[in-house]
Chain A
Amino acid sequence: MHPGQDFELEQDPPPWSADLARDLELGALLNAMAGGDKFLFDVAQRALLRGLTDPAAIRYRQDILADCLTSPTVVREMYNLAVTVVEGERKVFFGLFFRDSPDVILHRSVQVLEFFTGHLRTLRKLADEHAGNFHSAGVTRLFGMLTEELSDEYFTEIDRHLATLKFRRGVLISAGLGTGNKGIRYVLRKPREQGWLERLSPGGARWLQLRDRRP
């Protein structure tokens, strides 16, 4: 919305908004823009009521609008992607309470991140495929950011973490001795790459295993 600053979604509309909207019959226009989407209605209202005065800023928006008119499908797809993600997160986290065990919280968090990552990949792909069709400074910068920050290496790193965070190979924790010789300073540790089995194989590795006392 702006070349050099964030769009203030939270800012209150100016005090004359109500009169202005009535005088200009803005309601009809906003409804048409939103098409029943409350979020879009909000954004449109805020944008319309805070008009621009700097020609460069107006040109910035006009260029982006031109891009959108040229490739409406891609832009709609990107917006739908965002809507899917926001609603999807709500679904996964629905029913998560503070009472839940750390296990459950971790499990759900990994699920949410997996879901996000999938859609971030799609977004990256859209940017990759259609970058050539967009020429405005605004969209070009957005696509550039997506390509740069959501690199393949970054996705690989995330995937590795999400796999590790399922702790299929168990959890490694370091600790010290505190009051009454109870464990203190518990820290989650990253097992060495060669893996536990190698370290624990015969030849000097020191570990001791707890007896399983399940009934």
Chain B
Amino acid sequence: MRNGGSCVFHSILFDRPADAARAGRGQEPACFHDLNLDQVVNLMTTGRAEYELAQFCYVPLHDAASVRYRHEILHDLGNEPVRAAVRAFAAGMRDMRGQLAQVRKLRYRYQQERWFVDATNTYCAAVSALADCLAELDIRSRGFRELRDYLAGYTSSEAFTSLVSATRTLYADLASVTYSIHIKGNRVRVSDYDGEPDYSAEVEKTFARFKQGAVKDYRTGFRDWPDMNHVEAQILDLVARLNPEVFRDLDSYWARNQDYLDTTIASFDREVQFYLAYLELIGPLKQAGLDFCYPGVSAEPGDISADRSFDLALACKLVPDKLEIVPNDFLLESPERILVVTGPNNGGKTTFARMFGQLHYLASLGLPVPGRQARLLLPDEIFTHFEREEDITTLHGKLEDELTRIHQILGQATASSVLVMNESFTSTTLSDALFLGTEVIRQVIELGLAGVYVTFVDELTSLSDATVSMTSTVVPDNPAQRTFKVVRRPADGLAYAAAIAAKYGLTFERVKERIIP
């Protein structure tokens, strides 16, 4: 390896082989649906089904170094020439897969073998081009540097160079084959082409003196398909018998090179799409003026914050329609651990809660996150507790189901977990909701979880110095109009009520004015 690099390239996604091993076995995490991350992954993987990228989205990283490994790579990919080189490589690999698919579709061996040569040729060209580009481009990330060294070694290896030269020779030999077909009725004879003159040219020459100006073209178009009919196939067999050396080489090329595809390179082709897919997803959002940043991450519980962040799934929906996205900020400084969000309905509380969960998940995928800057926890797990429709098949009440789920969550969660609770315990009385909420928050605080608790119970906002109160806001002159801004502010349910009362002229003063004669 060049540069005396001590590390050998394994994967553009995982610096730790243990994480790579998890990919492929992953299930969609339980929080995906609640956080609308399933929508994000759907959008991200559209048009890339062949790469099965969702698998990579199911494997969050728990190590800050692994996240930095990805950040560095994404920085390199932000460099257009690097991205162009990777895209060209991917296009080559895709062509190659198309050619291999053609091999599988065809029935005649010499046809299959020729398409196979095309596939390996495409592969060699794509790999060589990528190796050449990376050798010249300014790349900084460990991942790409190691890949560059790997490719330099691979493309100068005996196996690869001999594959390239064997392919070149075979093409030249096949191109040199010319043959004649003599067709008379149903009899077809094939022989070597022996320099017989072009008869069409002779006929044209004889009649040229009658040609005055433009003439109608009576020639018939020749339709061409990848496959052959049985006559063409038999002719090809005869051509092969007339040129035994060339076709023997073709046979042995096919037999020897079935395993030509390097698994590390094939993995890179697939894995690097994870980055490209995400960059393509957020590209239009950045153009629309939304911020993305590489968050500071830590697996250890600490301060958590984000500026001008937003719900990525919602942004993906609104930006194409040119609708406005309202960014929000949050900050949890020790000893604060929990954001308790209250305020009017449809004011952006749920969106805010989702954003909090999404940020942590996206950060643990090593991706840039919505926001101007962010410091986030690399959670060991993200738990969500969202209000659900009652499920009649369980024969349990809604409250009972909710209690069962929160019990399970609290049983699994650690100080490094993130919890997003949205409108929990709404199916009970205010006093029960207050009691249950208080108990849950007390335990959450005890565990040291970081999280968001969206509720209609104002009292929950001031249970301890670990909770921070945030409220969704309305336009003061028009309480029906939401700002979708969620701000750090003591909960004051009355403020909202007062705003509505004022709007309709029902404040104490206004009412009194009207009563007094």
Cβ of A9 to closest chain B Cβ, rounded Å: 13
Q: Determine whether B230 belongs to the interface, using a CB cutoff of 8 Å to chain A.
A: yes
**A171 at the A/B interface (Cβ < 8 Å)?**
yes
Partner of A190, one of B115, B178, B196, B232: B196
User: Which A169-194 residues sit within 8 Å CB-CB of chain B?
Assistant: 169-177, 179-183, 186-192
Q: Residues of B contacting A115 with CB < 8 Å? A: none
Contact B230 A192 (CB under 8 A): no
Main secondary structure of the interface of A (DSSP, over half): mixed
Interface residue A201 (Cβ < 8 Å from any Cβ of B): no
Distance in angstroms from B422 CB to nearest chain A CB is 58
Asked whether B265 is an interface residue with its Cβ less than 8 Å from the other chain, the reply is no
* Chain A residues numbered 133-174 whose CB sits less than 8 Å from any CB in chain B: 149, 157-158, 161, 164-165, 167, 169-174
> What string of 1s and 0s marks CB contacts (under 8 Å) between A79-119 and chain B?
00000000000000000000001100100010001000000
Kindly list chain A residues whose C-beta atoms are within 8 Å of the C-beta of B114: 177, 179-181
Give the residue name and chain of the B residue nearest to A181 (CB). Answer: B114
Q: CB-CB < 8 A to A113: which residues of B? A: 207
Q: B190 contacts A174, CB within 8 Å?
A: no
Contact check: which of B187, B194, B200, B222 meets A212 at CB < 8 Å? B187
- Whether the Cβ atoms of B226 and A176 lie closer than 8 Å is no
CB-CB under 8 A from A182, the residues of chain B are: 111, 224, 226, 228, 232, 236
Asked if A213 is at the interface of the complex by the 8 Å CB criterion, the answer is yes
Interface check B512, CB cutoff 8 A:
no
A199-215 interface bits toward B, Cβ cutoff 8 Å, 1 = contact, 0 = none? 11000011111111110
Does A196 reach chain B (CB closer than 8 Å)? yes
Chain B 220-260 interface 0/1 with A at a Cβ cutoff of 8 Å (1 = within): 10101011101110111011011000000000000000000
Docked-complex contact B196 and A207, CB < 8 angstroms: no
Q: Is the CB of B220 within 8 A of A165?
A: no
With both beta carbons as reference points, the residue of chain A lying nearest to B222 in the complex is identified as A186
- What's the least CB distance linking B489 to chain A, in Å? 70
Chain A residues lying within 8 Å of B189, measured Cβ to Cβ, are: 196, 200, 207-210
Cβ-defined partner of B241 (8 Å) among A171, A174, A208: A208
Q: Once the chains are docked, how many angstroms separate the CA of A175 from the CA of B190?
A: 10
Q: CA of A169 to CA of B242 in the docked complex: distance in angstroms?
A: 23
B187 pairs with A210, CB closer than 8 A:
yes
Q: How far is the CB of B203 from chain A (nearest CB, A)?
A: 6
Determine whether the beta carbon of B178 is less than 8 Å from that of A165: no
- Report yes or no: B174 in contact with A177, Cβ–Cβ below 8 A: yes
User: Is A209 touching B199 in the complex (CB atoms < 8 A)?
Assistant: no
Report whether B115 and A196 are in contact in the complex, using a CB–CB cutoff of 8 Å. Answer: no
Q: Which residue of B lies closest to A160 (CB)?
A: B206
Contact with A210, one of B177, B192, B196, B238 (Cβ below 8 angstroms)? B238
Total number of B residues with any Cβ neighbor in A under 8 Å: 56
A170 adjacent to B218 (CB under 8 Å):
no
B191 touches A207 (CB 8 A): yes
Chain B: CB-nearest residue to A191: B196
The answer to whether A189 and B218 have CB atoms under 8 Å apart is: no
Q: What distance in Å separates the Cβ of B82 from its nearest Cβ neighbour in chain A?
A: 33
Q: Flag if A210 contacts B106 (CB, 8 Å).
A: no
Check A181/B191 contact, CB under 8 A, given A174-B196, A210-B238: no
- Known pairs A206-B192, A207-B191; A171 contacts B234 (CB<8 A): no
Asked if A170 meets B184 with Cβ closer than 8 Å, knowing A177-B175, A182-B224, the reply is: yes
Contact B182 A176 (CB under 8 A): no
Q: Does B110 lie at the interface of the complex (its beta carbon under 8 Å from any beta carbon of A)?
A: yes
Those of B183-213 within 8 Å (CB) of chain A: 183-194, 196-200, 202-203, 206-207, 209
Contact with B218, one of A105, A158, A207 (Cβ below 8 angstroms): A105
Q: Contacts A165-B203, A180-B106 given; indicate if A208 touches B230 (C-beta within 8 A).
A: no
The residues of B that contact A172 with a CB separation of less than 8 Å are 180-182, 196, 199
Residues of chain A with a CB closer than 8 A to B197's CB = 189-190
Are A180's CB and B102's CB within 8 A?
yes
Contact A208 B180, CB 8 Å, known A158-B206, A179-B114, A180-B114: no
- For B111, the chain A residues whose CB sits under 8 A away are 180-182
The reply to whether A181 and B236 contact each other, CB–CB distance below 8 Å, is yes
> In the complex, what residue of chain B is closest to A212 when comparing beta carbons?
B186
The contact string, 1 if C-beta is below 8 Å from chain B, for chain A 60-91, is: 00000000000000000000000000000000
A161 x B226 contact (CB < 8 A): no
Smallest beta-carbon distance A117→chain B, Å = 11
Contact A174 B180, CB 8 Å, known A181-B236, A190-B199, A209-B189? yes
CB of A18 to closest CB in B, whole Å: 31
A161 in contact with B106 (CB, 8 Å): no
CA distance A175 to B193 in the complex (A): 8
Assess the B110–A188 pair: CB atoms within 8 A: no
Is B118's CB within 8 Å of the partner chain A?
A: yes
In the bound assembly, the distance between CA atoms of A190 and B205 in angstroms comes to: 14
> Which listed residue (B181, B209, B220, B235) contacts A149, Cβ 8 A?
B209
The reply to whether A171 and B220 contact each other, CB–CB distance below 8 Å, is no
Question: Does B179 count as interface, using CB distance less than 8 angstroms?
Answer: yes
Report whether A189 and B230 are in contact in the complex, using a CB–CB cutoff of 8 Å: no
User: Could you list 22 examples of A-B contacts with CB < 8 Å?
Assistant: A102-B219, A113-B207, A158-B207, A170-B185, A172-B180, A172-B196, A173-B182, A174-B178, A174-B193, A175-B179, A177-B175, A177-B239, A179-B226, A181-B236, A182-B228, A187-B200, A188-B200, A189-B197, A199-B194, A206-B192, A207-B189, A207-B190
Ranked nearest first, the 8 interchain pairs of A and B with the lowest CB-CB distance are A170-B184, A189-B196, A210-B188, A207-B191, A190-B199, A208-B238, A181-B114, A174-B193
14 more CB-based (< 8 A) A-B contacts, given A102-B220, A190-B202: A101-B220, A113-B207, A165-B203, A172-B182, A174-B196, A182-B111, A182-B228, A182-B232, A188-B199, A189-B198, A189-B199, A192-B196, A206-B192, A208-B241
Binding site for A on B (CB under 8 A): 102, 106, 110-111, 113-115, 118, 174-175, 177-194, 196-200, 202-203, 206-207, 209, 218-220, 222, 224, 226-228, 230-232, 234-236, 238-239, 241-242
